[in-house]
Amino acid sequence: MTWGARKAFADVDKDGKADVILVFSKHQKGNMDNQLEVVQLLFYKNKLYWVSTKADTNYTEDLLSSNFETLPSDLKNFFFQFWNRLDKAP
């Protein structure tokens, strides 16, 4: 995964609407060389779901949005397949 390709579009549940993943990195203002955190967002049925991991844990601890368990299994699989392939360290 490259930094320039940190997004995915699919129609996992076949409802005719895109399921969209976007990935962002957080940095201190003015310091793009020091990544603090990586966040992956999923927009599904007008709701936002996310997972994040921080540099200070060496990107080993994932934090999930409180509504994540409400996602259907096939969407969770799509979400984690992308997340697990993602190169989180800069």
Q: Report the number of distinct structural domains present in the chain.
A: 1
Q: Is the pLDDT of residue 61 over 60?
A: yes
Q: Is residue 90 part of a domain?
A: no
How high is the pLDDT of residue 46? 87
How far is Cα 52 from Cα 37, in angstroms, rounded to an integer?
7
Percent of all residues in the chain with a pLDDT value above 90, rounded to a whole number: 62
pTM of the model: 0.86
Question: Sign of dihedral through CA atoms 35, 36, 41, 46?
Answer: negative
Percent of all residues in the chain with a pLDDT value above 70, rounded to a whole number: 94
Domain span at 12: 3-85
Q: Is the pLDDT of residue 3 over 60?
A: no
48: left (phi over 0), alpha (psi -120 to 50) or beta: beta
